[in-house]
Homo-oligomer: A and B are copies of this chain.
Amino acid sequence: MNRMTAARSPLSPAERPRLGLRERKKIKTREAIRTATYALIREQGYDATTVEQIAERAEVSPSTVFRYFPTKEDIVLTDEYDALIVEELRARPAGEPWMESMRHVMHKALEANAGEDPEVVRLRTQLTVQVPAVRSRMFESMSETGRLLRGALAEHYGLDPDALEVRVYAMSLIGGLMEVSMYWAENDFGGDLHDLMDRALTVMDRGLPRENR
A177 to chain B, nearest CB (A): 8
Q: What are the residues of chain B within 8 A of A54 when measuring CB–CB?
A: none
Q: Nearest-CB distance from A199 to chain B (Å)?
A: 6
Q: Is the CB of A164 within 8 A of B207?
A: no
Kindly state the separation between the CA atoms of A104 and B213 in the bound complex, as whole angstroms.
15
Number of copies: 2
Q: Report the count of interface residues on A (CB-CB < 8 A).
A: 44
Indicate whether A40 reaches chain B with its CB closer than 8 angstroms: no
The docked-state distance in angstroms from the alpha carbon of A199 to that of B165 is 7
Contacts of A140 in B (CB 8 A): 132, 135-136, 139
Contact yes or no, A168 B99, CB < 8 A: no
One of A4-12, A22-30, A42-50, A178-186 contacting the partner: A178-186
- Please name all residues of chain B whose beta carbon is closer than 8 Å to the beta carbon of A137 when the two chains form the complex: 136
| Chain B residues in 8 Å Cβ range of A98 | 208, 212-213
> Told that A157-B211, A172-B204 touch, could you supply 7 new A-B pairs with CB distance under 8 A?
A97-B213, A98-B208, A132-B140, A146-B175, A164-B200, A164-B203, A171-B175
